[in-house]
Amino acid sequence: MNEKELQSTIQSKVSSKLAPLLAKYNMDLTELDASLKWKPIVLILGNYSSGKSTFINELLGKDIQRTGQAPTDDSFTLLTAPSNGGGEKDIPGADLVNDERLPFTGFKLYGEKFISHFRMKQIASPVFDNLALIDSPGMLDSISEKDRGYDYANVVKEFAKLADLIVLMFDPHKAGTIQETYNAIRNTLPDATGEDRIVFVMSRIDECDNVGDLVRSYGTLCWNLSQMTGRKDIPRVYLTYSPLVADNNEDHALWAEEREHLKEKVMAAPSLRISHILQDVDKQVDDVRMVVEAMWSFAEGGKKIVRKNLKNSLIIGGFVFLCLDLVTREFIGFPEKTLISSLLSGFIPPEQFLLPLGGLLAVLLVSFAWLSKWQLPRYYNKCRKSVDTLVETETEYRKNVWARVKNSVNELLEKPKTKDLYLPHAKNIMKLEKFSKKHIQKYYETIRK
Ligand SMILES: Nc1nc2c(ncn2[C@@H]2O[C@H](COP(=O)(O)OP(=O)(O)OP(=O)(O)O)[C@@H](O)[C@H]2O)c(=O)[nH]1
Ligand SMILES: [Mg+2]
């Protein structure tokens, strides 16, 4: 099975097995669906003027993207192949966010301002055989960042979620200023983004005056990177420059090969596609599983109250059944014979059951009303107030999952119905486990082979 076939198999398994479970818990498939759609994506991020567009032009062997000193391009440009049989053309953001075949429908919520800063360029190039690139507006410092008119950090985060490979590009002039964009970038990258999906690049190194200068910039960048990733070990940083733009100098030739490695890495992004999709499916399974766990624990507590109510009402009802006519006879002289005395005499006329049965029924009705109007609403309220106690969050990982799904649980608890207590939550957990074991593991094994 090749990658494209595997992708569509995973897609169909997700919609036949996972989607119905998600729907039962009122959860949304849009995000996962977006990542299952379309082709591998490489997102190029970084400081302004760090050479993102120059790198893209170099990959394509054509001057497609505008380049220049100072912030040059303030749009997200999706570069990809023309659609089947079509010619090269530009497509505006408004069409992109409304096209169900593309994974960008979720971007509508970022508003007009963003949409007018989003476009697609369809370019005929072998690079786009099985790949799309996203060129992004350069990151500015935190002060200028406020002026964009749309939620830049979250837009980047959404693109980063979709991307199979993220190239983070810095230049030596601003190796220190990434500290300023540190928070933006940190919040930008999804928790689950594996380090294998991020490539760090320091470009324009030909502009370092000498080796000492380069080493200092590299050191600063590494320090900032370790702050960003929270890791002690330094990830590989590609030190590159663009031979097309830089002055030719023998010292630089040393690094020319590094640029080629970077290009190879970008072109190999499709090989990360399936593992990225599987990570996303895994994440979705973990999310829904935690929602089911919470609803299960909520249901168990509710069922306990129902059982207790039923037990008590049967005890009281039984007592009323046997003794009600004793009391009425005592006070109003009716009926002449009580149920117990008839029992002892060995013959009970059927009409003698009427009063005891009426009493039993009244008890059951009152206790049902008590349960549904008082006990359960009080329990639902308690659960809503202490929703965190519904699940165990003993590990950091589970804490993160819970933070992601807590809102979905809150929504489910807004107006619970008694029948929600009797949904087969335990069975649904088993279904999720089976889905993980039977399908996801199998696909992981397929790509490891
Ligand atoms: N000397 C040198 N100049 C470079 C290199 N790469 C890019 N440049 C120049 O740096 C400037 C900025 O490059 P761009 O490719 O426009 O940078 P960008 O990251 O796309 O910038 P924005 O889109 O504004 O964020 C341009 O004038 C490029 O010619 C390089 O490796 N060496
Ligand atoms: Mg650019």
pLDDT truncated to tens, each residue of the chain (449 aa)? 777 888 889 989 999 999 999 999 989 888 788 878 888 999 998 888 889 999 999 999 999 888 887 666 789 999 999 987 778 899 999 999 999 889 999 999 999 999 999 999 999 999 998 899 999 988 766 555 567 888 888 888 889 888 999 998 988 877 655 555 555 555 555 555 556 788 889 999 988 888 898 899 888 888 877 777 666 777 788 999 988 888 777 777 778 788 999 999 999 998 888 888 888 898 899 999 999 999 999 999 999 999 999 999 999 999 999 999 999 999 999 898 899 988 899 888 898 899 999 999 999 999 999 999 999 999 999 999 999 999 999 998 899 999 999 999 999 999 998 888 999 999 999 999 999 988 888 888 887 77
Ligand at shortest distance from the CA of 52: 1
Work out which ligand 1 atom sits closest to the CA atom of 169: 19
Ligand 1 site, CB within 6 A: 46, 48-54, 67-69, 71-73, 137-138, 203-204, 206-207, 241-242, 245-246
Domain 41-268 matching CATH 3.90.550.10: the answer reads no
Using CA positions, which residue lies closest to atom 9 of ligand 1? 51
Work out which ligand 1 atom sits closest to the CA atom of 48: 25
Q: How far is the CA of 49 from the centre of ligand 2 (A)?
A: 7
Q: How far is the CA of 171 from the centre of ligand 2 (A)?
A: 13
Reading the block at residue 120, the tokens are 């697609």
Strands (E), 40-179: 41-46, 76-80, 90-92, 118-122, 132-135, 165-170
What is the number of H-type helices and E-type strands within the chain? Answer: 17, 8
Q: What's CA 130's distance to the chain center, in Å?
A: 25
Mutating to test ligand 1, I would choose from 53, 181, 205 the residue with most ligand atoms within 8 A of its C-beta, which is 53
Q: How far is the CA of 391 from the centre of ligand 2 (A)?
A: 46
Q: How far is the CA of 69 from the centre of ligand 2 (A)?
A: 9
Q: How far is the CA of 56 from the centre of ligand 2 (A)?
A: 9
DSSP conformation class of 139: B
Q: What are the sequence ranges of the domains in the chain?
A: 41-268, 284-448
Residue partners of 221: CB distance under 8 A and separation at least 6: 170, 175, 178, 200, 202, 237
Mutating to test ligand 1, I would choose from 57, 204, 259 the residue with most ligand atoms within 8 A of its C-beta, which is 204
CA pair distance 116, 113, nearest whole angstrom = 5
Q: Is residue 117 a contact partner of residue 149, using CB atoms and an 8 Å limit?
A: no
